[in-house]
Amino acid sequence: MGTMADVARKTYGQFCGLAHALDVVGERWTLLIVRELGTGPKRYTDLADALTGIGTSLLATRVRQLETDGVIQRRLAVGQPGSAVVYELSEAGRELALALIPLATWGARHQMTDADIGREAFRAEWLLSFLAADLTGDTDPGPDAVYEFHIGDSSACLQVRGGRMRVAPGPAATPPDVTVRAAAPTVAALLGRQLTLSDAVRSDQVDISGDAAATDALVALIESHLALS
Amino acid sequence: MGTMADVARKTYGQFCGLAHALDVVGERWTLLIVRELGTGPKRYTDLADALTGIGTSLLATRVRQLETDGVIQRRLAVGQPGSAVVYELSEAGRELALALIPLATWGARHQMTDADIGREAFRAEWLLSFLAADLTGDTDPGPDAVYEFHIGDSSACLQVRGGRMRVAPGPAATPPDVTVRAAAPTVAALLGRQLTLSDAVRSDQVDISGDAAATDALVALIESHLALS
DNA sequence: CTGGATCCAAGCTGATACTG
DNA sequence: CAGTATCAGCTTGGATCCAG
């Protein structure tokens, strides 16, 4: 008789785009799964690890539902060590991830204070996705380069290539052009405008090293991000 | 000892804009309340009426929480008949409403089929907000005019003024320049591209009457909306 | 008209155990 | 590694009735 999981999902029952979107991605954890997959395919345990508190059972349910709704796809990764199955966004899922950027920006501007950073989980790629999203389109991203960030004990990298920015979790695959190091509270102070980037660099709270031209471009990018956020 | 309502709300505990946004507006019904207030201040019963199924107790809870989070404001309406208290979006709330447009657009494009319209609740302003949001910026909205829509038994109007569009529920306060009438399934067929606007007009499934120049502008608006959606 | 109170059902958390 | 199964305890949500 199967698992009997389809007992008619609860919907808002409204002929409205927002209501239909929320019928699919409005439950707890669902949009955070989409966010996680926004920086590339991930395995089940990667998701479980990033989403502290979700519990294996609920994660399995959410992932299954997102798959049947066509937002994500299950795929058998090729040639990788360890187990093979990864989840990745479908085309619709990638569009959804883009549609979330304004919401995330709103949350960062109105609901996120630097006081939170001490108590909360933190991943460098969460901030970088942000910076990248904010700057895509309106700003010159500078020359092609790979920037590697180490914020607290989390690292992520930002690749600029042909005028487009891309974020990936973890250290860069190839040696980065620029490496940035900072403590999480320092980043919080920057975001909260208690500290300027130039002051942080001068006082060694932020260390930026590598190719000079790329460094200058990165500083300009970050400063324009801070200016408009 | 009061109501003991503040027993530490459940949060995702992540230093991330999206997670913080969802901490505030991620619970069931919350974003639909924001959507409802996006077309102007509403009374408690207006909200309860639009949000079929929410239940009075939960609506009160949500509204209270949104108020303490600074998304909406309670206000005593002046000189109106009946009871006085209305809810309206704060500045942060208006920004949130704008941030929801891409999500609503995604839902409409990927999760909403015309087959739903028969079973679902429907309000003309839900569609119009959409059209207005989609077209703001990139398209010439045409001359100043008031368009009144009657779709099924729901009506709403679209005001174009100085190049800006505004949507309001219900019939227009002043006599409209153009009146549009259609049945809900006809609209669904248009959205689903089973029917073109010109065919619908020719076959009297859609009736557009009023000022000729404004009518032409409206047809152009709707067709460009349908083209890009 | 604006909610509060209440009761029951459904969903989520957290922990652990187990399988291919 | 990638899940499924279970299960107790708690939190949310739904539905109905009631009060200022």
At A181, the amino acid letter reads: R
Q: List the strands of the sheet with B85-89, edge to edge.
A: B42-43, B85-89, B72-76
The percentage of chain B sitting over the pLDDT mark of 90, rounded to a whole number, equals: 73
CB-CB under 8 Å, A14 with B103: no
Convert A100-167 into a string of H (helix), E (strand) and C (coil). Answer: CHHHHHHHHHHCCCHHHHHCCECCHHHHHHHHHHHHCCCCCCCCCEEEEEEECCEEEEEEEECCEEEE
Through-space separation of residue B7 CA and nucleotide C7 C1' in angstroms = 22
> Smallest Cα–C1' distance to nucleotide D6: which residue has it?
A57
| CA distance to A20, A32, A126, B149, per residue, from A68 (Å) | 15, 17, 26, 36
Of residues B14, B32, B98, nearest to A19 (C-beta): B32
Are B68 and B5 spatial neighbours (Cβ–Cβ below 8 Å)?
Answer: no
| pLDDT at residue B226, as a whole number | 87
Alpha-carbon dihedral B36, B42, B44, B47, rounded to 10 degrees? -20
Give the list of residues 6+ apart from residue B211 with CB closer than 8 angstroms, or none.
B145, B177, B178
Q: What are residue B25's phi and psi, to 5 degrees?
A: -120, 20
Cα angle for residues B124, B127, B130 (degrees, 5° grid): 145
**Both tokens assigned to B101:** 């447009």
Low-confidence winner among B97-106, B188-197, B208-217 (lowest mean pLDDT): B188-197
Best residue in A106, A114, A123, A151 to probe B by mutation, most B CBs within 10 Å?
A: A106
**Both tokens assigned to A101:** 């950027």
Digit-coded pLDDT (tens) for B11-68: 999 999 999 999 999 999 999 999 999 999 999 999 999 999 999 999 999 999 999 9
* Separation of alpha carbons B207 and A148, rounded Å: 60
| pLDDT at residue A227, as a whole number | 84
| pLDDT at residue A116, as a whole number | 85
Convert B52-108 into a string of H (helix), E (strand) and C (coil). Answer: CCCCHHHHHHHHHHHHHCCCEEEEECCCCCCCCEEEEECHHHHHHHHHCHHHHHHHH
* Separation of alpha carbons B90 and B77, rounded Å: 15
- Please give the nucleotide, over all strands, whose C1' is closest to the CA of residue A83: D1
Through-space separation of residue B79 CA and nucleotide C13 C1' in angstroms = 49
Q: Angle, nearest 10°, between helix axes A30-37 and A17-25? A: 80
Are B139 and B221 spatial neighbours (Cβ–Cβ below 8 Å)?
Answer: yes
Of residues B12, B22, B111, nearest to A24 (C-beta): B111
Contacts with A, B 111-140, CB within 8 Å: 111-112, 116-117, 119-123, 126, 130
Q: Determine contact: B77 vs chain A, CB below 8 A.
A: no
Contacts with A, B 16-55, CB within 8 Å: 16-24, 26, 28, 31-32, 35, 52-53
**Both tokens assigned to A138:** 């309106």
Through-space separation of residue B90 CA and nucleotide C4 C1' in angstroms = 26
Residues contacting nucleic strand D by the 7 Å CB criterion are A 3, 10, 43-46, 56-57, 60, 63-64, 74, 82-87; B 7, 9-10, 27-29, 53-58, 61
In the block, residue with structure tokens 């929320």:
A22
Pairing of strands A154-161, A164-169: antiparallel
Per-residue pLDDT at B185 exceeds 60: yes
* Separation of alpha carbons B218 and B208, rounded Å: 9
| pLDDT at residue A79, as a whole number | 62
Through-space separation of residue B10 CA and nucleotide C18 C1' in angstroms = 31
Q: How far is CA A26 from the centre of its chain?
A: 19
Best residue in A9, A10, A11, A14 to probe B by mutation, most B CBs within 10 Å?
A: A14
Q: Which residue has the higher pLDDT, B192 or A27?
A: A27
CB-CB under 8 Å, B32 with A111: no
Q: Determine contact: B91 vs chain A, CB below 8 A.
A: no
- Please give the nucleotide, over all strands, whose C1' is closest to the CA of residue A64: D3
Q: In terms of Cα–Cα distance, which of A32, A80, A105 is closest to B100?
A: A105
Nucleotides of D under 7 A from a protein CB: 1-7, 11-18
> Smallest Cα–C1' distance to nucleotide D13: which residue has it?
B58
Q: Determine contact: B95 vs chain A, CB below 8 A.
A: yes
Through-space separation of residue A60 CA and nucleotide D8 C1' in angstroms = 20
Q: Which residues of chain A have pLDDT under 50?
A: 1-6
CB-CB under 8 Å, A22 with B31: yes
The strand pairing partners of A207, in sequence order, are: A181
